[in-house]
Each structure stands twice: as structure tokens, then as C-alpha cells.
Amino acid sequence: MVKHLVSSTVLPIAIGKSFTDYKSIPEAFEKLDVSGLEFKFLPEWSTDRPPLGRTAADWENCPKPSYEDLTEILEEIPVPTVHINRDMGDMLCSEDEDMVERGRNTLVNNLATAEKIGSDVAVIHLWDTRAEHLDLEELWKKVEAIAERYDQISIAVENVPISAEKLDVEKAWRKLDSLMSEGHGFTLDLSWCSFYDNFSELKAFKDRILNVHLQGYVSKEDDGYTVKPRKGELDLLRALERFCEEGYDGYVTLEMNKVQGLEDFKTALELMKEYS
């Protein structure tokens, strides 16, 4: 049976707080009818350097929680999945060994916290989306060497954009499928499927898919509300419905874009449940 989750990424906005206000996550979560949380480790919380990619936050003035702080606020919430700091893949792809080591440490600290709060799936961005060359085998070895220490947690590689020569996401997943041990797999983000128009190709990995991200924004249409992707034309809700009808029964996680407040979350969750 599908298990419905909500991502913590922008959840504090539901109660009028900044998305980086980690202390607001439990209060916002309690206002939603959902079985669990996907907790995302934000790079904006890093104490020693700003996020590697773009951010809407003022990094210098963002809260800087310790891992103990995060564990404490999550101890009363079901958190079956976590999303590893999105900068980790960029770090592991770096030619600077100090940066690579930083990526390893990020993964270790995130997985150690995930273990403490009882999570069983960890979503990762494995690669630098702008890299022109990728050695997927070497990248996976770096991740697997750490993941082996946390054998109760399955790694789920997300279908984030890929720029490397002679690679697309389907080819990357196919390669990783041949490298991964049993238990690890993928996260299927439907918004990225819309961007690349590759839903049909990626859903073929159903037996390896551990988590589906319904990422989008609430839009009012003539016949009611829907959830639309940031780019592309994929009907997210129909794609989700189709995937579940074909036998998918894992986690389905709401990731909100352009969120205005609590009602957007409630509307999107109702639609997500209806179509899965």
C-alpha cells in the first residue's frame, strides 16, 4: 500500500515561517493529514560555507542547527525517508580532494542522523548536474562505502538533470542498476520527468523505485485544482495514478513549489491521495 509523505523542504511556509526555520517543521507537520515526513537536510544550514547552488535564503542569517538539534525536533515525528544535502553530489564530483572529503562527511552525518530518527530510505543527488564528464561507477563506490555502515537505510538516487557527455538519466540509471546491491534504488521525481519527457522510460525501473516525488505547484483550472510541474507538459497526477495502477506501492512524497500557505499543502495532499 502506498505511503503518503510530505517533504520538509518548504514546509515551514505553511505556518508563515521561512523555509529554513527548522524549529517550525513539527508544528507545520501536525497541521497536515499525512502519514510521515521526508526530512531534507538543507545546505543553507551549513555553518562554514553557503550552498553551492542558487538559494532564495540569506545564508549568513539562516539558522545553523546542529545534527543533535535536528534529531531533537524530529524525535516525535515519523520520518521514514530523508533527503541528503543536495550539495553532496557536487562535492563528490569535485576535483578538489578536500571538497570530496567534505561530501563524504556530509553523507556520513546525514545518514547517522537518519539512522537515529528511524528512517529507512535516503534520497540523494548523486552527481553534479553541470559536470561534463561523470564516472558513475566511481561515484557509486564512494556512496556505497559509506552506506554499508548504515545497512538499515536504502539509498535512492533521484533523476536530477544530467549534462555529462554521452549520458542521460535513463542511461545513468541503467548503469547504476547494474552496480547497486539489493535494497538500493531510485527516487522518481515526476517534475524532472516532465522537464525531460522521460516518464515512460524511467517508470520501467519500477522494481528499483523506492520513492516518488510529486513535485509541483497548485493551480486552479476550469474543472478544479491540479498540481502542475515547473516545466514541461506531463500531467503529474495522471502519471502518478498510472504508476500506482501498474503496481507501485512505495513512498509518494509531496514536494511543493511556489507555495503560498497551508491551503496549498492541504489541496495538493488531497489530490496526491486521490491519484495514488
Domain boundaries along the sequence of the chain: 3-210
**pLDDT tens digits along 8-56:** 999 999 999 999 999 999 999 999 999 999 999 999 999 988 888 888 8
The pLDDT value recorded for residue 54 is: 84
Coil/strand/helix, residue 2: coil
∠ CA 169-184-148 to the nearest 5 degrees? 125
The pLDDT value recorded for residue 13 is: 97
Return the CATH class of domain 3-210: alpha beta
For residue 260, which phi and psi values (nearest 5 degrees)? -100, -25
Evaluate if residue 122 carries a pLDDT over 90: yes
pLDDT (mean) for 62-79: 96
58 pLDDT tier (thresholds 50, 70, 90): confident
**pLDDT tens digits along 222-244:** 889 999 999 999 999 999 999 99
The pLDDT value recorded for residue 140 is: 99
The pLDDT value recorded for residue 102 is: 97
Q: What one-character DSSP code corresponds to residue 236? A: H
258 pLDDT tier (thresholds 50, 70, 90): very high
The pLDDT value recorded for residue 57 is: 79
60 pLDDT tier (thresholds 50, 70, 90): confident
**C-alpha to C-alpha distance for 146 and 270, rounded to whole angstroms:** 37
**pLDDT tens digits along 139-169:** 999 999 999 999 999 999 999 999 999 999 9
**Cβ-proximal residues to 101 (8 Å cutoff; 6+ apart), any chain:** none
**C-alpha to C-alpha distance for 176 and 140, rounded to whole angstroms:** 8
